[in-house]
Amino acid sequence: MAYTHVRFTFRQDSAPSIEHGSGTAPATSTPEAATGWDRPIGSKIIGVAGAIAGKEFVWDGTSWDQGLDADSTFEDAADSIDMVNEAIAAPAGDAVAGVHAGFAGNDVSNNFPGAFTDPDVPRSISFTFGVGWDGGDITPIGTDIDDAACTEVIVNPGAGGGVVQSTKCYKTVASATKGAAGANPATCSIDTWHKFATASPPSGPGVLGVDGVTEASTWDKTTAQGKGWSPTTLPDGAKNYRVEYPTSGAVSVVTATP
């Protein structure tokens, strides 16, 4: 007999299945055209970018009208899709000096002194240069989300000062150096910023839910250590985020059950 009602789930590799929606089974391979779907955001159906404004999944041409009995599970490798579902619970807001307090450009030592505070979750960091800073470029050293060594050169914006974001995302920051012992006492602090690292490299933009509501987000897939996303609604220590995004690093299987 054909399905009349199904639940759609994804299984990412060996991880537990995640239910993405339920409703009347469509007669064709386009569940986004069906009516009566339950589409909460959270861990539910928030979809692949480009599919119905990025909010729903689109399958590959297999008919869902399967002649199976009521206890059967329909699982079709042709409907595999590479997806990752990740959540970050209540990350802290961006914080000036969240990693290290301001360090004077005219200090005779070019090494930022003392202890560093690691970001609460793997995320980008930023650097607030004071007006008159002449201590050169900054080089942070730490690790990324995969515990690999992570470093880059943060280019001094000039005497006018300003804030410069890192390209990479840091799980830890162990040290930082400035490029020169200048003459001006203007300082540079190391701050936390709001690009959050993803566990897998996105192969395209994903979809973001903030406390269960979808919103626009910016995705970075240019470098392995820069992989991540930025929300429109900034973190404040209370908002919860969930993203789903396509990746070539994990195979998911669509499963439909009565």
Query: For residue range 47-74, what is the model confidence (pLDDT) as tens digits?
Result: 332 332 233 333 333 333 333 333 334 4
Token output for 68: 């199976």
Do 20 and 65 lie in a common domain? Answer: yes
Q: Is residue 225 part of a domain?
A: no
CA distance 257 to 162: 55
Q: Which helix (H) or strand (E) holds 230?
A: strand 228-231
Give the mean pLDDT of 158-163.
96
Output the pLDDT for position 44.
Answer: 30
Nearest CA-CA partner of 189 in 94, 92, 99: 99
Q: pLDDT tens for residues 85-119?
A: 788 999 999 999 999 999 999 999 999 998 999 99
- Whether residue 153 contacts residue 179, with contact meaning beta carbons closer than 8 Å, is answered with no
Structural domain tally of the chain? 2
Domain around 151: 100-197
Q: Is residue 175 part of a domain?
A: yes
Q: Is the predicted pLDDT of residue 43 greater than 60, yes or no? A: no
Q: Is residue 236 part of a domain?
A: no
Do 83 and 105 lie in a common domain? Answer: no
Do 13 and 42 lie in a common domain? Answer: yes
- Whether residue 231 contacts residue 208, with contact meaning beta carbons closer than 8 Å, is answered with yes
Q: Is residue 228 part of a domain?
A: no
Do 138 and 187 lie in a common domain? Answer: yes
Q: Is residue 115 part of a domain?
A: yes
Output the pLDDT for position 233.
Answer: 96
